[in-house]
Amino acid sequence: MGSAAVAEIIYRGGTILTVVDDRPTVEAIAVAGGRIIATGSEDHVMRTEGDATEVVDLAGKTLLPAFLDAHGHYINALTVANQVNLYAPPAGPGTDPDAIVAELLKFKEEKKVPAGELIQAYGYDENVMPGNLLNRDHLDAAFPDNPVIVGHVSMHGGVLNSLALAKYGISAETETPPGGVIVRKQGANEPYGLIMETAYLPVFAALPKPTLEQEAPFSTAGQGLYGECGITLAHEGATHAADLKVCSGPPPPAPTSSISSPIRS
Q: Residue 182: exposed, middle, or buried by beta-carbon count in 10 A (0-12, 13-18, 19+)?
A: buried
Q: Given this model, what pLDDT does residue 255 score?
A: 44
Ordered by start, the domain boundaries in the chain are 9-65, 74-206
For the cut 60, the answer to whether the pLDDT of residue 3 exceeds it is no
pLDDT-based confidence at residue 79 (cuts at 50, 70, 90): confident
Supply the CATH classification number for the domain 9-65: 2.30.40.10
For the cut 70, the answer to whether the pLDDT of residue 254 exceeds it is no
* pLDDT tens digits, 171-230: 999 999 999 999 999 999 999 999 999 999 999 999 988 887 888 888 888 898 888 888
Average pLDDT over residues 80-96: 93
Domains 9-65 and 74-206 share a fold: no
Residue 75: CB atoms within 10 Å:
24
Q: Given this model, what pLDDT does residue 247 score?
A: 57
C-alpha to C-alpha distance for 18 and 27, rounded to whole angstroms: 11
Say which CATH topology domain 74-206 has: Diaminopimelate Epimerase; Chain A, domain 1 (3.10.310)
Please name which of 65, 30, 31, 58 lies closest in space to residue 44, comparing C-alpha atoms.
Answer: 30
Beta bridge partners of 172: none
End-to-end Cα distance, the chain: 15
